[in-house]
A = this chain, B = another copy of it.
Amino acid sequence: MAYHHGDLRRALLDATLALADEKGAATVTLREVAGLAGVSQTAPYRHFADKTAMLAAASEEGFVLLREMMIEASLPTEPRARVIALGVTYVEFAVSHRSHFRLMFGQGSPAKATQKGLQARARDLFQLVLAAVTEWQPRRDARSATIQIWALCHGMANLTIERQLGMTAALASSSTRSALAALLDGLSA
């Protein structure tokens, strides 16, 4: 049963995401991932140093994808609308790529302490928003405004995907949009 896949690494990441989506990122099991991909328990160690590295690789994918979505969303607009578009896209990514988002930002995820590159990925996203905020309001403290905007979107994303407020995807988008508009109005007053 050698050479099961052209790309076992890909199959393992897909299985990781499928299990994270189904039962939560915390319950993902190396052995079950391997079984889903049709290989033995130890085959993943050919492609990843350990379980954490496998989860980090899936997170990495998510950061790349989110970055692409945020860059695309912020292209055609003027500064204020760009800040709002970035925030709304963040929430929409969380909703449409729940397992990626959970792996990237969930508690006990490898994104935080373990892997080095992932922290840099998160900082890149922050810089993206920070730049837009700076363009929008050059005078104000852009850093603290960015943190406040991020917090609003991060909270909306988490509450929605963990189903803590009974929010639908459409509701989360429109609620984020109007909340950001209000927050920006308040900040610039």
Interface residues of A, Cβ cutoff 8 Å to B: 24-27, 102, 105-108, 112, 122, 126, 144, 147-148, 150-159, 162-165, 167, 175-176, 178-179, 181-187, 189
Q: Are A107 and B24 in contact (CB under 8 A)?
A: yes
Q: Are A159 and B148 in contact (CB under 8 A)?
A: no
List B contacts of A176 (CB < 8 A).
151
Chain B's closest residue to A157 (CB) is B155
Copies per assembly: 2
- Tell me how far the C-beta of A68 lies from the nearest C-beta in chain B, rounded to whole angstroms: 21
Q: Is the interface of A mostly helix, strand, loop or mixed?
A: helix
Assembled-state Cα–Cα distance A159/B157 (Å): 12
Chain B's closest residue to A161 (CB) is B107
Assembled-state Cα–Cα distance A14/B1 (Å): 50
Q: Are A152 and B150 in contact (CB under 8 A)?
A: no
List B contacts of A178 (CB < 8 A).
144, 148
